[in-house]
Chain A
């Protein structure tokens, strides 16, 4: 497993799998299977895949720690960038067919409709993350600052879930399902953080005592 995950070629099939949702949509479009409202179909599909890829990205860290598979980290950037890719397509269905590429009308909509506001916020938050996803930017920012910046994916994921919840009419089962997944992933991080703090604190006092004794 470790060898498979660290093989440089494993990224190729993962990349292709990440493209499968887009391939399916193109195939459906070509065979006239986007239903009676194709724009809405594409909008919903790209929105859902954005949310799913955000969740996949957020699953990497818990998974690599729980399964002791540190190599999984190699795939996180790709998954995150695919989330960004699908949100761009999602945004395109909005600015194009919905707003007829009228930026002023779009901005009014963003201001006025809370589900659009929160969705737009999530989209905007992902832009700097996509830009600074390269090794060069990690170096330039420094690991710590880079990591702090990239924690805004938590907010983006929460925005995505709220956006979904606020746009449905009465059947909230699907939005709640995704909200539950995001909650689990974020609560795990909170638990992990507390656990780490708990581990570090006694270790620090030990160290202090040791240094006090030494002097």
Chain B
């Protein structure tokens, strides 16, 4: 079944989850009588981190391909354990500091070596193709991993629309950056705006997801709202967040972590248990929720879909 969204409803019209949850909270509050109850909720707020801070809105989806049947990581973990250095370097920083990040209105400029350059609004993007739910493994370069039900569609849908010229060999991505909204980005050791890149064939691979949501909802700010990439066979930092620009180029584009430490973070950064980070092993990973480490899989277990793109390539050299 394909549930179509009402066409006159725009992304900006969607009620942020924080608003409707506050309303619900208020009604709940009416029901709780007396100071004891109030003290109780306060205590609960202290004990368990509050969840009602996201602009999450339900998204209608269809089942997408490539989903794993592994246990999905709890929503609360995926939203409170983030690397989004624009909002601070501690894993708990983005959940706190991205709360007021302004994601509407939003545009993504698709430009460069294409026949039909165009700026997509979020409304455009949400209407480009049926939204699919895809449950992917996500492996961070820091040797932890999660399983996330992302929502989106293959990036190649957009690529086909803008028609790359024969000169286009790579795709460069750029994140939103505004020091005023992201004061915690100061002193984090990276240069902003965050940039990333893919080879054109990697970008065209059906696994490569243009992602607008997760867990049945629009993306929480700290997870890269309103639109991000998800490239499940590469280390997490390749899956750039809060995208404002996609540019088709002739040569290998710059990538933020690669610029910071070229010997540690290569352009490809494919998940590879046999090629270690210079400072730590990539052979194993800790799945959030588990105590002991498990073996890391080649291409994060997506070899069937992607290995052929790297046939004949020295992966130790092209890490």
- Chain A residues proximal to chain B, CB less than 8 Å: 31-33, 35-40, 97-98, 100, 109, 112-115, 166-167, 169-173
Chain A residues with CB under 8 Å of B188's CB are 170-171
User: In the bound complex, do residue B279 and residue A167 qualify as a contact, i.e. CB atoms below 8 Å apart?
Assistant: yes
Known contacts A35-B81, A40-B144, A171-B89; A98 and B293 CB within 8 A of each other: yes
B261 close to chain A: CB less than 8 A: yes
Residue of B nearest to A101 (CB): B292
Shortest CB distance B281–A (Å): 7
Number of B residues, CB within 8 Å of A:
30
Chain B residues with CB under 8 Å of A170's CB are 85, 89, 188-190, 257, 260-261
B51 close to chain A: CB less than 8 A: no
- Contact residues of B between 132 and 157, Cβ < 8 Å to A: 142, 144
Chain B residues with CB under 8 Å of A171's CB are 85, 89, 187-189
Known contacts A97-B291, A97-B292, A100-B292; A37 and B144 CB within 8 A of each other: yes
User: In the bound complex, do residue A166 and residue B279 qualify as a contact, i.e. CB atoms below 8 Å apart?
Assistant: yes
Residue of A nearest to B187 (CB): A173
Chain B residues with CB under 8 Å of A31's CB are 47
Shortest CB distance A138–B (Å): 40
Shortest CB distance B144–A (Å): 6
For the complex of A and B, the 3 pairs showing the least CB-CB separation, nearest first, are A170-B189, A36-B81, A36-B77
Known contacts A100-B293, A170-B85, A173-B187; A35 and B91 CB within 8 A of each other: yes
User: In the bound complex, do residue A113 and residue B261 qualify as a contact, i.e. CB atoms below 8 Å apart?
Assistant: no
A82 to B314, CA, bound (A): 49
Q: Which of A32, A39, A100, A169 has the most CB of B within 10 A?
A: A169
User: In the bound complex, do residue B47 and residue A33 qualify as a contact, i.e. CB atoms below 8 Å apart?
Assistant: yes
- Chain B residues proximal to chain A, CB less than 8 Å: 47-48, 73, 76-78, 80-81, 85, 89, 91-92, 142, 144, 187-190, 257, 260-261, 279-281, 286, 288-289, 291-293
Chain B residues with CB under 8 Å of A100's CB are 292-293
Further contacts, 4 of them, CB under 8 A, given A35-B81, A36-B81: A166-B279, A170-B188, A170-B189, A170-B261
User: In the bound complex, do residue B281 and residue A113 qualify as a contact, i.e. CB atoms below 8 Å apart?
Assistant: yes
A32, A37, A39, A113: the one within 8 Å of B279 (CB):
A113
Shortest CB distance A135–B (Å): 40
28 pairs, A vs B, C-beta closer than 8 Å: A31-B47, A32-B47, A32-B48, A33-B48, A35-B81, A35-B91, A35-B92, A36-B289, A37-B144, A37-B288, A38-B291, A39-B291, A40-B144, A40-B286, A97-B293, A109-B281, A112-B281, A113-B281, A114-B279, A167-B280, A169-B189, A170-B188, A170-B257, A170-B261, A171-B85, A171-B89, A171-B187, A173-B187
Residue of A nearest to B237 (CB): A169
A112 to B286, CA, bound (A): 20
A38 to B292, CA, bound (A): 11
Chain A residues with CB under 8 Å of B279's CB are 113-115, 166-167
User: In the bound complex, do residue A113 and residue B280 qualify as a contact, i.e. CB atoms below 8 Å apart?
Assistant: yes
User: In the bound complex, do residue A35 and residue B189 qualify as a contact, i.e. CB atoms below 8 Å apart?
Assistant: no
A35, A37, A166: the one within 8 Å of B286 (CB):
A37
Chain A residues with CB under 8 Å of B280's CB are 113, 115, 167
A173 to B185, CA, bound (A): 13
User: In the bound complex, do residue B189 and residue A172 qualify as a contact, i.e. CB atoms below 8 Å apart?
Assistant: yes
Chain B residues with CB under 8 Å of A36's CB are 73, 76-78, 80-81, 91, 288-289
Chain A residues with CB under 8 Å of B292's CB are 97, 100
Shortest CB distance B198–A (Å): 22
A55 to B15, CA, bound (A): 51
A36 to B187, CA, bound (A): 25
Shortest CB distance B91–A (Å): 7
Chain B residues with CB under 8 Å of A38's CB are 291
User: In the bound complex, do residue A37 and residue B81 qualify as a contact, i.e. CB atoms below 8 Å apart?
Assistant: yes
Chain B residues with CB under 8 Å of A166's CB are 279
Chain A residues with CB under 8 Å of B291's CB are 38-39, 97
A167 to B277, CA, bound (A): 11
A114 to B277, CA, bound (A): 12
A22 to B87, CA, bound (A): 29
A172 to B261, CA, bound (A): 14
Residue of A nearest to B276 (CB): A112
User: In the bound complex, do residue B85 and residue A39 qualify as a contact, i.e. CB atoms below 8 Å apart?
Assistant: no
Chain A residues with CB under 8 Å of B288's CB are 36-37
A31 to B47, CA, bound (A): 7
Chain B residues with CB under 8 Å of A35's CB are 80-81, 91-92
A31 to B48, CA, bound (A): 8
Shortest CB distance B51–A (Å): 13
